């Protein structure tokens, strides 16, 4: 009779151990997926905010716009990196314009020939008034750790309940 109690106890322990193993397996699958999804959501929001901010850069000119800021805003996107997260990037339609997003993001800016006076050797330095991209990225990184902690806490709770 004593061995029957012993077998019953072992069976209960085995069931609990199996439940715990399944919960750990689910957490092993779900945590990376949930973290990547949180990063993707944050980076997409980040890209939208950066595009809005570049449009807020002051424009100098007769009508206040040459379309440059709109082209920069259109070129802001998110690139998935598989399990390694997502990257926010900038691109421009023309290869020789690649420096423009960075130039608009810094006080240093970039130099280019003055429109309509290219042959006369007149150059213009164009600068951003504020950081529209890098400051936005830095702010975004502050939001991620609490979101990841929430995911880990939720997984720990599920494992604890198992």
pLDDT-derived band of residue 126, with 50, 70 and 90 as boundaries? confident
Considering only residues 83 and 105, tell me which one the structure prediction assigns the higher pLDDT.
105
46: which residues sit within 8 A by CB, 6+ positions away?
78, 88, 136, 137, 140
133: which residues sit within 8 A by CB, 6+ positions away?
50, 53, 54, 76, 90, 101, 102, 105
Percent of the chain with pLDDT over 90: 33
* CB-based contact 161:19 (threshold 8 Å): no
pLDDT-derived band of residue 9, with 50, 70 and 90 as boundaries? very low
> pTM here?
0.72
Nearest to 69 by CA among 113, 132, 123, 118: 132
* CB-based contact 162:22 (threshold 8 Å): yes
Could you give the CA distance from residue 123 to residue 142 in angstroms, rounded to a whole number? 39
Residue-wise pLDDT for 97-113, tens only, equals 888 899 889 888 878 77
pLDDT of residue 7: 43
Average pLDDT over residues 17-22: 86
Considering only residues 46 and 65, tell me which one the structure prediction assigns the higher pLDDT.
46
Lowest mean pLDDT among 18-22, 57-61, 140-144, 145-149: 57-61
Average pLDDT, the chain: 83
């Amino acid at each position: 009779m004593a061995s029957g109690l012993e077998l019953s106890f072992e069976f209960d322990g085995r069931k609990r151990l199996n439940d715990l193993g399944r919960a750990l397996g689910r957490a092993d699958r779900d945590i990376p997926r949930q973290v990547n999804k949180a990063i993707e959501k944050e980076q997409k929001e980040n890209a939208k905010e950066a595009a809005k901010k570049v449009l807020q850069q002051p424009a100098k000119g007769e009508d206040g716009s040459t379309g440059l800021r709109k082209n920069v805003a259109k070129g802001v996107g998110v690139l998935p990196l598989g399990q390694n997260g997502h990257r926010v990037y900038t691109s421009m339609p023309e290869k020789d314009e690649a420096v423009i997003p960075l130039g608009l993001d810094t006080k240093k800016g970039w130099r280019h020939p003055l429109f309509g006076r290219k042959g006369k050797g007149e150059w213009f330095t164009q600068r951003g008034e504020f950081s529209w991209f890098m400051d936005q990225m830095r702010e975004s990184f502050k939001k991620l750790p609490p979101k990841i902690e929430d995911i880990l806490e939720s997984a720990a709770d599920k494992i604890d309940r198992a």
